[in-house]
Structure 1
Amino acid sequence: MGDTPNWQHMWGAKIKTPCDMDDDILEDVIRNVTMRLAKFDTEEWEKNGLAVCEDIKAHLDEAWGPHWVVCIGRNFGSFVTHVTRNFVFFYYNEKAVMIYKAGPQQFKRNMVVHVVKKMKVEHEIIGDSTFGDRTANPQESSDSDENEELEDKDLTSAIAQFQREDGTNVGPQLEIPMNSTIRQMEELVNMLLQNGKDRVPYSLFLGETEVTTTLKATVEELRLSTETALTITFQPLAPFRVRPVTRCSDTLQGHSEAILHVSFSPDGKRLASGGGDATVRFWDTNTCMPKYTGRGHRNHVLSTAWSPDGLRFASADRNGEIRLWDPLTGKQVGQSIKGHKQWVNSLTWEPMHRNAACEHFASSSKDGSIKVWNARTGRCVASLSGHTDSVECIKWGGQGLLYSASRDRTIKVWAVEGEHVGKLVRTLVGHGHRINTLALNVDYVCRSGSFGHDFQSFLSRKEMQQAALKRYEEVLKGQPERLVSGSDDFTLFFWEPSKSKKPLARLTGHQQPVNHLSFSPDGRYFASASFDKKVKIWNGQTGKFVATLTGHVGAVYQVCWSSDSRLIVTASKDSTVKVWEMRDPKNAKTTLSGHADEVYALDWSPNGDMVASGSKDHTIKIWKH
């Protein structure tokens, strides 16, 4: 007889035995199963099947109660030995052995037989809690099994094929219980991919609808037929998890007017704020204490932006002046930059993966112009003319293009690199009113450069640029950049602006102007905030509607995602900040009260530890778990 299998080889750091079965009992179960297998040669096993000996049955009855199945086979895919709360799985003499626990509501006599048939490999039940030993030739019961299969499948299970985002199948078709939870199916995907200890979290989809509770709930919601195999697509989530913020840890005071902007530096070490008192303030995120106050603006600070390397901070005011700051000293760098005739609405930096020096940024103004600047010299590199009204928002993409949205109801795509700097590539038309906001599916990685969640250190600018490029490509995955625009006409348009001037989709549903848009860091979703007091979530690949976040009693000014793309925070005129979870987006997870007036500004720290909110009440509040 061969050695007892190493059943402790499993994924996860801590052993989890079925229903907390005692380790000694579990080892006895496995030893007895292997001893039973050793008594039969392959030919006899294939001919007659096997019976579970009574002592194994006794162990299982004691540990799992009256619902369990033991089956064996030549191959269950490429699994290794696993132990979980629901089954034990291991190999013995090139035969796969699985002891499977079935819940009281889902256990059916032929369930494992059906799995076996669909997998098209030779397996056989060797015993179960309902009818004990099974030593007869399996062919004898095949006719009755066939009728039961349809009945059982409709009631308790469905055939499913797991599939990657690119459409490639993973593993064979499996029959899985309809009441399988998202975590159970996630566990199964990890097994199919042989992730072992390097367990990866996944989101699962039926079509374009995410499974958020159980397979059955989603199937019923979509009214899907289980007569044919369900295709379950899985997408890896961030390997880290951000915890939802629940409490106010600090209130930062110092501003004497409304705070219009708050933003964390790409490395998360600084928080910058700007607003109606014409100052820019830098705060230490470790101590939540003020570091520096930047003075020089003579009017409201209307726009701010960090460089992707975190070494420069740009701010622009209602007079049209732009100032650059060194966040490490709080001092202004060079003279104020002048060139716009009216106030500046938006600032954006060139992504690090396009230029390791991080020395170019662009500004847009109410005067209808867009200017590209060299931050090192303070000189204008290019002036982009073409809009006939105020340019409300600009975004510097990751492929050498800049996107601008205007009150003239158009979006323009500009070349901002090489010999074609300033050239108009195309104009996107569709909105019936002024365009207020834009969002790119690569916004997050373009703004944060080489700084991921783990804040890896680098020896050179070249290494930083390579890391930034890798992060960018991981989000894009070979697809074109996607852009979404929001307007006073209550609609959104979804574009692939580098390829076509025709929109992919026109998105309706809001009942008031759309004033802010934000893509999740992984690019899979985007959120739209509106004066209609609602936030809507949309699919970042197709633009299709996903959910409406309802709960605010005032206009929603801003929306922000956690760095793991699982959580959303929203800021509103109703003086509250709300936290929402993508797994269950219909109801706010937490309402954060504390501000005495409207909340205009919002940002989530790159490491996920804190959220900053800026208010008309002149304060910034820091929210933590």
Structure 2
Amino acid sequence: MKKRTFFIFVLFLIPYFTTAETNENHTTLRGHLGSVEVVAFSPDGRTLASGSSPHIIQLWDMDTQRSHTTFEVDAFQVWGLTFSPDGQLLVSGSSEEVLIWNVHTQELNARYQRWYGAIAFSPDGVTSVMFSPNGSTLASGGNDGTVRLWDVGTDQGPTILTGHKYEVNSVAFSPDGRVLASGGGDGTILFWEILSEVSVARIPEDANGDGSVNIDDLTFVADYLGQVGGGNVADVNGDGVVNVLDLVAIAKAMERNPLPQ
């Protein structure tokens, strides 16, 4: 019985051993158990990150063509990967969470989960992520059709950009960081002007970030009732928890500034 158990254990480990095969016009890296959903090079080109199902991110040394680091994630699939411009951080986006890793220490710097995180990201999952060229802003595209801009290094909630009818499949900054492009499942590409080094002012009661306070903000906050933690955009009054008081704050703002008839 011991020999059989050991034999099965070895067979289970074999797929995790990484290999590289070089043919006439390409090199094949092997090591993932499932489908590879996304890949991203580090800025210096020496490291390749790959995300796959189930639950795995691997970092590959392009000199040796071997995987040297494996990160495990809770989500079954990893949809988005991006390195910070200095190559120090790696961000992953998935259906369940956004993770920020320190590439050199291999430590998890931050975890923003779908329902329990301190910062509310797209509730239906993050499909794509991208740093601005100066590394100060992280853009994410979501299955809920929103683009969200995060001020890296703070606990502030994101600026939410709306315009796509369906999921946002990709986001990309222009080289100067002043324009963000997003591609959506509705067949459109939207361009957004990004204010460099200036925070976009937003009304707290405008929880969904569409530029006006209305019933849509009540619906948005209702989806996050019970969440705790600072920086959540649904925490309108900033008391650290999303509850009925936030709904009351929105209702009062609607009374002060009624929509034109």
Could you tell me the TM-score, scaled by structure 2's length? 0.60
1:311 aligns with: 46
Encode CA deviations 1:174-200: one digit per residue, 9 max, x unaligned.
xxxxxxxxxxxxxxxxxxxxxxxxxxx
Residue of structure 2 in register with 1:588 after alignment = none
The equivalent residue for 2:82 is 348
The 3-state SS of whatever aligns with 2:158 is strand
Q: Which residue of 2 aligns with 1:432?
A: 165
AA matched with 2:51: A
What does residue 364 of structure 1 align with? 93
Letter in 2 for 1:305: A
In structure 2, give the amino acid aligned to 1:363. S
d(CA) in 2 for partners of 1:340, 1:315: 16
* 1:492 alignment partner in structure 2: 189
Q: How far apart are the structure 2 equivalents of 1:281 and 1:396?
A: 30
Instruction: Identify if the C-alpha distance between structure 1 residues 346 and 280 changes in structure 2 by more than 3 Å, giving closer, same or farther.
Output: farther
Q: Which amino acid aligns with 2:141?
A: A
Aligned length: 176
Counterpart residue number, 2:25 = 288
Alpha carbons 1:340, 1:365 under 8 Å: kept: no
Aligned to 2:102: 374
Contact 1:362 1:372 in 2 (8 A): yes
Q: Deviations over 1:541-585 (max 9, x none)?
A: xxxxxxxxxxxxxxxxxxxxxxxxxxxxxxxxxxxxxxxxxxxxx
Indicate how the Cα distance of structure 1 residues 311 and 496 shifts in structure 2: closer, same or farther if over 3 A, else same.
same
* Residue of structure 1 aligned with 2:129, choices 394, 397, 406: 394
Give 1 or 2 for the bigger CA radius of gyration.
1
Label 1:282 to 1:362 Cα distance change in 2 as closer, same or farther (>3 A): farther
Q: Which AA in structure 2 matches 1:350?
A: S
Q: 1:481 aligns with which of 173, 178, 184?
A: 178
Per-residue Cα deviation, 1:248-284 (whole angstroms, up to 9, x for no partner): xxxxxxxxxxxxxxxxxxxxxxxxxxxxxx9885769
Question: What letter is aligned with 1:402?
Answer: L
Gaps of 5+ in 1: 1-277, 443-475, 504-625
Letter in 2 for 1:392: T
Q: What secondary structure is seen at the aligned counterpart in 2 of 1:333?
A: strand
Q: Residues 430 and 280 from structure 1, CA distance in 2 versus in 1: closer, same or farther, beyond 3 angstroms?
A: farther
Q: Which amino acid aligns with 2:163?
A: G
The separation in 2 between residues aligned to 1:379 and 1:482, in whole angstroms, is 31
Cα distance in structure 2, aligned partners of 1:395 and 1:282:
30
**Alpha carbons of 1:489 and 1:294: their partners in 2 closer, same or farther (altered >3 Å)?**
closer
* 8 Å CA contact retained: 1:370, 1:383: yes
Question: Within 5 A, what are the aligned runs for 1:138-537?
Answer: 288=25, 290=27, 293-334=28-69, 336-351=70-85, 355=86, 358-367=87-96, 369-384=97-112, 385-399=120-134, 400-417=136-153, 420=154, 423-442=156-175, 476=176, 481-498=178-195, 500=200
CA apart distance, 1:333: 1.2
Q: Pairwise CA RMSD of aligned residues?
A: 2.8
Percent of aligned pairs sharing the same letter: 28
| CA shift for structure 1 position 393 | 1.0
Q: AA paired with 2:144?
A: D
Amino acid in the other structure paired with 2:75: K
Change (3 A) 1:279 1:305: farther
Q: Which letter maps to 1:413? A: L
CA separation of 1:373/1:494 partners in 2, compared to 1, >3 Å: closer, same or farther? same
Query: Once the 2 structures are TM-superposed, how far is the Cα of residue 492 of structure 1 from its aligned partner?
Result: 2.4
Q: Please list the CA deviations of residues 470-524 of structure 1 after superposition, one character each: whole Å capped at 9, or x if unmatched.
A: xxxxxx3xxx520111212222221123465899xxxxxxxxxxxxxxxxxxxxx
1:406–1:282 CA distance, 2 compared to 1 (3 A): farther
Structure 1 length as normaliser, TM-score?
Answer: 0.26
Change (3 A) 1:280 1:397: farther
Shift, 1:429, TM fit:
1.4
SS in 2 for 1:288: coil
Say if 1:299 and 1:318, in contact at 8 Å, map to a contact too.
yes
Unaligned ranges ≥5, structure 2? 1-16, 113-119, 203-208, 211-261
Distance 1:283 1:306 in 2: 19
In the alignment, what sits opposite 2:229? none
Question: What is the identity, as a one-letter code, of the residue corresponding to 1:432?
Answer: K
